[in-house]
Each structure stands twice: as C-alpha cells, then as structure tokens.
Amino acid sequence: MLIEFKVSNYRSIGEEQVLSLIPANKKGDSTDNIILKGKYKALNTIAIYGSNASGKSNLLLSMSLLDKLVHLSARSSSTSTLPYDPFLLRKDWDKKPTKFEITFIIENIKYRYGLEFSQDKIVTEWLYRKSIGREVDLFLRDGDIIDTSSAFKGNNKIIDAAIEATRANALFLSTCDMFNIEEAKVIFQWFKHFQMLDGLNTEVFNTASLWNKKDFQVKIMEYMENLDLDLIGIDISTKDFDSSELPDTLNESAKNKLIEQLSGKKSFSFYATHKIYSSLGKETKDVISWKFEDRESAGTNKAFHLSGPIIWALVNGGILIIDEIEAKLHP
C-alpha cells in the first residue's frame, strides 16, 4: 500500500513536491475509496489535476524512475551513469542531487525508503521501518559509508558482504536483494507490483499476455461490456515477426535495425465482433468482426489496451500509474 511519495530537483520539479494518499478526515467520504492495513489507511485511487507544464507528468515519471533504479542499479556496470536530470531554471541546481522518497505499507509494517543521487553516484540512501512504537532506521548511507542497524533482518556476514560489494553508482537496497537479504527481498516483492503506463501510447502486450489466461479473459470481457461499447466478442491472433513483410521503402540500415529489435518477437492483432442489424434496425443472428485498429475508435482501442493492466492490478494488488489517462477517452 502506497502512502506517500516525495521528489525534488528532477526535470521541471525544483522544490520538494509531495504526493500523499493519506485520506482527509471528512464525514461522508465513502469507505470504498479507502484501503485499511491495520492502523494505516490510504486512498485506493487518486487523480492529479493541473495546468499544462505544471509538472504532473514529471511527478509520475519520477516514481517510475525510482522503480527502475531499485530494480536495475545493482545490475548495471561500474561505468554506467545514473539518470540524473536536474531542475535547470535555478543557478547551480545542476550541482545538487535529485531526491526521491517513498513511504509504503507491507503486512501492517510501514517502510520509508529514499535516496539522493547525482550523475555518477548515490549521494545518500536510507531505509526506515515502523511496526509498533517509534520508527527505527534499518540502514543509513552517506556516500561510501553504509551503516546498518541490528533491526535490519538478514545474516550479518552477508550484509557485510553486500556493503563491501555496493558500488558508488548502485543502490545498497538493490545490492542487498542480489545477496538474498531477507528485508530487501520483502521490499522488492512490493516494487514488483509497480506499473507505469503512458496513456498517450498504450501498449498491447500486457493485455495480450493476459488474454491467454481464461480467468483474465472473462474479466476483460466483463470490463469492456460494462463500458457499453456494443461489443459481443473479442478475439486475438498471434504471429511471429516476419522480416519479409517489412516495407520495401525502408533503407537497408533501418531494416537491419528493425530485424535486430523484432527478431523472435510476436505481433498481436485484436478483433472486435459486433451484431449485424437488418435494414429496419432489427437484430439478426449475423455478426461481423474486424481489427480493432481498423474500425474501432481511438478511445475504444485505448480502453481495451488499458484493460489488462487495470484488471491485473485489481486482481493482484499493487500500484498502477497512468499518465494522460483521459487522452482519447470521453465520459
């Protein structure tokens, strides 16, 4: 359960911005909108509104970037640079670190994890835990110095080895996960259910992969029927990439690049089925199918492609972030 996220000095965001999911104590608010985990509670859905260039997308991008850093930093090379992209509208802010901090609940235990980083190193990193009583630090990092407390769960010798192995440009938390340290694995399991989607460029892969699972197929159909789009069926065809189908107009360099990227990949085509009506508007037994992208509206295509990630999050739990969700959709 996500409680709070903070970011500063990232792209168009200068001073610290806070995204809080803690509900206000207002009478009349529906309890259906609130998740309860022991003594903690959070909103299950929020929307971010604001004018153009107000930083909405960059706030969401920073959350996605934190997720990527957690998963990938320990697996990159010692020469890799970090995705440092500071606020540039104030002098010398490009010399300050970017800061992320996230607070979340796992099994009624509250964790607060954060870091500061520049282009070539992790400047600071911290992890706190609170279950009963006061919040305790699990580890604190300042540059190359990493101090862990006795509360940090794991084998002490392995924790010491993880400290020794942590590179300047890698997160200690990520290194701990690679060393199978208990507390880090619990946190990584939470980040596993963290998804970010761009509502302007929705991907079909998640929905396509879920469609092959009967339970999800039924739920996706129910979801589409509830949108009242006049669909009576959906089907999918899968095809291996065939380089012979690339346009002849592509130059050799572009063609070779596409072949390298797409070899071994599959393409998906979705078909929508509709009823056919008589010339008098009466329903017949006949139906017709066509490709989604050929005849369905941009909004219907988007609603379908978003259905997989949305239903996956509802079934499995987790965090689903969709930027520009309203694009191409109508009330």
pLDDT, tens digit, for every residue of 27-63?
566 677 888 888 899 999 999 988 887 889 999 999 9
Model confidence, pTM = 0.83
- Let me know: does 323 contact 197? Beta carbons within 8 Å: yes
* Final residue belonging to a domain, choices 192, 212, 238: 192
Question: Is residue 232 assigned to a domain?
Answer: yes
> For position 200, what pLDDT does the model report?
58
Residue 322 lies in a domain: no
Give pLDDT tens digits for 102-143: 999 999 999 999 999 999 999 999 999 998 889 999 999 999
Final residue before a domain boundary, out of 139, 158, 192: 192
Percent of the chain predicted with pLDDT > 90: 56
- Asked whether residue 184 falls in the same domain as residue 222, the answer is no
181 shares a domain with 49? yes
Considering the domain architecture, whether residues 173 and 232 belong to the same structural domain is answered as: no
Q: Are residues 19 and 93 in the same domain?
A: yes
Type and span of the H or E element at 258: helix 252-262
| Structural domain includes residue 313 | yes
| Residue-level pLDDT at 262 | 67
Q: Which of 192, 225, 251 is the last residue of a domain?
A: 192
Domain that holds residue 16: 2-192
- How confident is the model over 194-215, as pLDDT tens digits? 888 875 555 555 788 788 888 9
Q: How many domains does the chain have?
A: 2
- Whether residue 329 is contained in a domain is answered as no
